[in-house]
Structures are given as structure tokens and as C-alpha cells.
Amino acid sequence: FLIASPILFLIGASLVYFFFTPMVMWFFLAMQQAGTDDQVQISLLPKVSEYLSLIMTLIFSFGLVFQLPVVTSLMARVGMLSSEALVEKRKWAIVIA
């Protein structure tokens, strides 16, 4: 578990940094609109603090979500969770997710 936890966190953080960050930036840049005679120009005015806050929140969130297999395994080893309980509650987990 000590080896899997940081590896899974890094996989989640890497997914955000290399896959979702370019998509998010493309989305924000695509929202810009060139002004014409009858339209107002919309331009992106990014701030470094807002960018870093967004990226760090995403990295931390995805890192925590990628820890769920470790938490589930630990709960199963301690006896707090069984495979039967996971099968019973699977439908609710899908609906809530």
C-alpha cells in the first residue's frame, strides 16, 4: 500500500497536468470572441493565481480520487468492507457518481 498510494496519486496528477490542462485551456481560449460591428469582443484575461488555483485544485482532487482503490483495499483488509457489500451497493454508487 505504501508503494501503490504515491504511484496512484502521481498517475492522477499526471492525467490532469498532461491531458485535462490542455483541454481546459483550449476551452477557455475557444470562449473568446472577436468583436465585429454589432458584437462585443470577449477576450480571456487570465491571472496566474486563478490558473494555479484551478490546476492545483484539479491535481489534488484527481490525486484523491485515484486513492480510492487503496482505501477500498484497506477497508476490505480491516473487515469494514466486503465484496458482497460492494456488489449490493454498486447500483447506488453508479447513481451517486
Give the residue among 52, 60, 54, 55 at the shortest CA–CA distance from 10: 60
Domain regions of the chain by residue span:
1-66, 67-97
Give the tens place of pLDDT for each residue, 32-65. Answer: 777 676 777 777 777 889 889 999 999 999 999 9
Q: Burial of 83 by CB count in 10 Å (0-12 exposed, 13-18 middle, 19+ buried)?
A: exposed
Residue where the block lists cell 465585429: 36
Q: Using 50, 70 and 90 to split pLDDT, how confident is the model at 9?
A: very high
pTM of the model: 0.73
Distance (Å, whole) CA 28 – CA 66: 26
